Chain A
């Protein structure tokens, strides 16, 4: 049935794709042109001496500093340190967030007893806990992993919970009719139906976890990308500092598009735009 209803739609998009693609290409060119123009103006303004170069180095200098970073061993060490902590913290947050989120979402009693506290913790700016965590766990990797976990876990948990709550009862009933029950019901019905929500939570959690790692590095210890960035800015090597910011922009955007790709691959039926205004 679904094939027959989808076929005409497919043909329609196929016919339109040619013009749509040409339109998209035009916008991409416009975007590139505008970005290049902004960079050119920036370069010209600094070269002309309107803005002191020590304050805002021109893009050419930032590019040189960026390329210099890529061949520096120290940079890759810092990269491995930061990313290692983020990956460990985020992995813990995903496991705990999804498991607890599913449990709380599924059980009305748990939802009633635990969820208010989870909401309270969710809306707390947990970055404020960073000094206390560093006090408790020291300046090493442990405190950074803990911060990453703490910041990342709540969006994952609450999104998963919300997803589990909104699983359509008719899906559950249909599965029961076909004899699915117990853990299989969770695995085959609840989990897939919740997955898009969890992924949306993981997207937010990844960004917040990165914040936790960088904040941990700002506040203490000697390692990682955040520490390098702070040192560069502190010594007023603005070209290196801006290059580090570019590195972070690239990391953050790559991570988010990777998760976005997963979202489209694992849950292509879910349209985030419909839930955007809620």
Chain B
């Protein structure tokens, strides 16, 4: 979001551009809030009142709000959301628990890095959707394939970021540590750990986004329960207002978990760039 507030390469700043640049952070937030409201009102007007776009494909905001109400009152939300949350959290936990030690090992040992990272990059480069049919064949139709896809989507960004963080630790800091007589443990604790932590959190943030995509794909393409299955069911019965409400909930989950990661970073690692802002 920092680009929003950057001045950019346009040098002559006059008129509305200069006015916007001169606003305080709170003023900018107010302008954006007004914009969002105007946008929602326009959307409601174009689709809901004037009917220029078929409301089945892009339902107006008020219809989506009603759809959300229907999801809650029919119990569809309470039946599906906890399953998705459980699958997501399980998969993400497995990914974190596997990726951090392997990433640290890759960062410490050159042979491990040279063998593991080409393999990891090769799997990571392939969209995780390619592994979905295999997961379905191996783990059946329950929560298993969803957990598998969340894990395989989330594990590589964490692993590769941790390894990169260890590798890019400043050599002069390490030498300085050695000069002051730090032993191996102290080197890890006071030099490698602080410089790898920002990479870890960057990896975790990427992993949240990819894990949510993995979860959605797995549930869309072969699951009877979960938010993805709810979206499919609602769309196939032309209740797209409910489908958009369900999509909105997935978006809120994704953004919310990214915020949680940033909050944790601020709490445990206040020295990082994201941590202190």
A residues contacting B by CB (< 8 A) are 27, 30-31, 34-35, 55, 105-109, 111-113, 115-117, 119, 123-125, 127-132, 134-136, 161-162, 164-169, 171-173, 176, 190, 207-208, 210-211, 214-215, 218-219, 226, 229-230, 232-234, 236, 238, 241-242, 245, 248-249, 252-253, 256, 273, 276-278
Would you call B39 and A112 a contact (CB within 8 A)?
Answer: no
Q: Of the candidates A106, A132, A172, which one forms a contact with B57 in the assembled complex, judged by CB atoms under 8 Å apart?
A: A132
A34 and chain B: residue at smallest CB distance: B115
- CB within 8 Å for A135 and B56 given contacts A30-B115, A165-B8: yes
CB distance from B163 to the nearest CB of A (A): 11
Name A116's closest neighbour in chain B (CB-CB): B32
- CA A23 to CA B93, docked complex, whole Å: 37
Closest to B240 in A: A132
Contact flags B12-44 to A (C-beta < 8 A → 1, else 0)? 010111001100000010011001100100000
Q: How far apart sit A136 and B56, CA to CA, in the bound complex (Å)?
A: 8
Given the interface pairs A113-B35, A218-B132, the reply to whether A128 lies near B228 with Cβ below 8 Å is: yes
Question: Are the C-beta atoms of B217 and A278 separated by less than 8 Å?
Answer: no
Given contacts A108-B10, A116-B4, A132-B57, contact A125 B235 (CB under 8 A): no
List, in ascending order, chain A residues with CB within 8 A of B222's CB: 218
- Bound complex: CA A233 to CA B140 (Å): 11
Report Cα–Cα, A230/B217, bound state, in Å: 13
Residues of A within 8 A of B164 (CB): 273, 276-277
Residues of A within 8 A of B250 (CB): 125, 128
B3 engages A162 (CB within 8 Å): yes
Which of B97-105, B118-126, B179-187, B261-269 forms contacts with chain A? Answer: B118-126
Q: Which residues of chain B are within 8 angstroms of A256 by Cβ–Cβ distance?
A: 125
Chain A to chain B contacts (Cβ below 8 Å), 26 pairs: A105-B3, A105-B9, A106-B9, A109-B15, A109-B20, A112-B4, A112-B20, A125-B254, A128-B250, A131-B220, A135-B240, A169-B9, A169-B11, A172-B9, A207-B125, A211-B127, A211-B128, A211-B129, A230-B221, A245-B130, A249-B122, A249-B126, A249-B130, A252-B130, A277-B161, A277-B164
Question: For the complex, what is the distance from the CA of A239 to the CA of B123, rounded to whole Å?
Answer: 19
**B200-238: which have CB < 8 Å to A?**
202, 209, 212-213, 216-217, 220-222, 227-228, 231-232, 235-236, 238
Known A-B contacts A31-B114, A131-B220, A277-B202; A125 and B4 likewise in contact (beta carbons under 8 Å)? no
Contact of B10 with A128 in the complex, beta carbons under 8 Å: no
Asked whether, in the complex, the Cβ of B125 is within 8 Å of the Cβ of A123, the reply is no
Q: B133: CB under 8 A from chain A?
A: yes
Q: Which residue of B lies closest to A247 (CB)?
A: B130
B residues sitting closer than 8 Å to A (CB atoms) are 1, 3-4, 6-11, 13, 15-17, 20-21, 28, 31-32, 35-36, 39, 54, 56-57, 111, 114-115, 118-119, 122-123, 125-134, 136-138, 161, 164-165, 168, 198-199, 202, 209, 212-213, 216-217, 220-222, 227-228, 231-232, 235-236, 238, 240, 243-244, 246-247, 250-251, 254-255, 258, 273
Shortest CB distance B131–A (Å): 7
CB pair B212–A219 under 8 Å, yes or no, is no
When the two chains form their complex, are residues A277 and B165 in contact, meaning their CB atoms are under 8 A apart? yes
Majority DSSP secondary structure for residues of A touching B: helix
Q: Which 3 A-B pairs have the closest CB atoms?
A: A233-B133, A131-B235, A108-B17
Q: Taking the nearest CB of chain A, how far is it from the CB of B150, in angstroms?
A: 12
CA distance A242 to B165 in the complex (A): 33
- CB-CB under 8 A from A27, the residues of chain B are 111, 114-115
B232 lies within 8 A of A214 (CB):
no
- Knowing A107-B10, A211-B127 touch, does A135 contact B235 (C-beta < 8 A)? yes
Q: How far is the CA of A178 from the CA of B231 in the complex (A)?
A: 57
B57 pairs with A248, CB closer than 8 A: no
Distance of A261 Cα from B166 Cα, bound (Å): 26
